[in-house]
Amino acid sequence: MSATKKVALITGANKGLGLETARQLGRQGITVLLGARDLAKGEAAAAALKKDGIDARAVKLDVDHAADYPAVAKLIEKEFGRLDILVNNAGVLLDGRKGNETSKTSAEMLRKTFDTNFFAVVALTQALLPLIRKSEAGRIVNLSSILGSLTLHATKGSPIYDAKTFAYDASKAALNSFTIHLAHELAGTKIKVNSAHPGWVKTDMGGEGAQLEIEEGGKTSVELATLPENGPTGGYFHLGKPLPW
């Protein structure tokens, strides 16, 4: 492949926001690797993108199964020699939308939520960072949510003040902390690390009542994945606008 053609890995990319992110990146001429728990579903998604002229490939990647990480890293190393873009898109919302039930949130729910939304992101990013360091302009995008904003949760009258899903919200706040810390560590490099709030999007997780179409929901991740050299790092954004931590 061309040494100038960028390579992106998107987790949870066989459907929803992950697939849309892959589609939009692919349309920019970027080779997209679709991480999927079910390889058959990933391959079907990749085949659909290829029909649109996108250079797409499915890779077996269950973010909750750390044993998948070395194989993915080895494949990327062998086939491309580097990784330019990592979009940590995969995530879960287990709380449901039953109102504020913080006092009833079980330790098991917290652990399962954090395993996927936080610990897996940290571990996978760490595993792939050596490959991202080989990129001329590495970009790491962590799919957060406005629900991870502690400031807005504590501010009466904010858009999310009464939207309290404790396990999910706390996991995204922790993810935001990872963004800040990793960006600080990598400040002397060409790698940029940012958190993205896609918006309330019409996906399986977002539900039918969501406000944004999926095309709009993918824009923030794509923008952060393709930032220019003078772009921000260590930030928290939605459609180009910063959000309060």
Spatial separation of the C-alpha atoms in residues 52 and 130, rounded to whole Å: 32
Question: Are 87 and 141 spatial neighbours (Cβ–Cβ below 8 Å)?
Answer: yes
| Active-site annotation holds for 172 | yes
Nearest one of 66, 8, 1, 2 to 224, comparing CA atoms: 8
Q: Which of 69, 168, 192, 202 is catalytic?
A: 168
The CA-based diameter of the chain, rounded to the nearest angstrom, is: 54
Question: Are 63 and 90 spatial neighbours (Cβ–Cβ below 8 Å)?
Answer: yes
Question: Are 46 and 58 spatial neighbours (Cβ–Cβ below 8 Å)?
Answer: yes
Spatial separation of the C-alpha atoms in residues 149 and 155, rounded to whole Å: 10
Per-residue buried b or exposed e for 91-106, using 16+ beta carbons within 10 Å of the residue's own CB: bbbbbeeeeeeeeebe
| Segment holding 46, helix H or strand E | helix 39-51
Q: Which of 172, 192, 202, 219 is catalytic?
A: 172
| Segment holding 34, helix H or strand E | strand 31-36
Active site residues: 168, 172
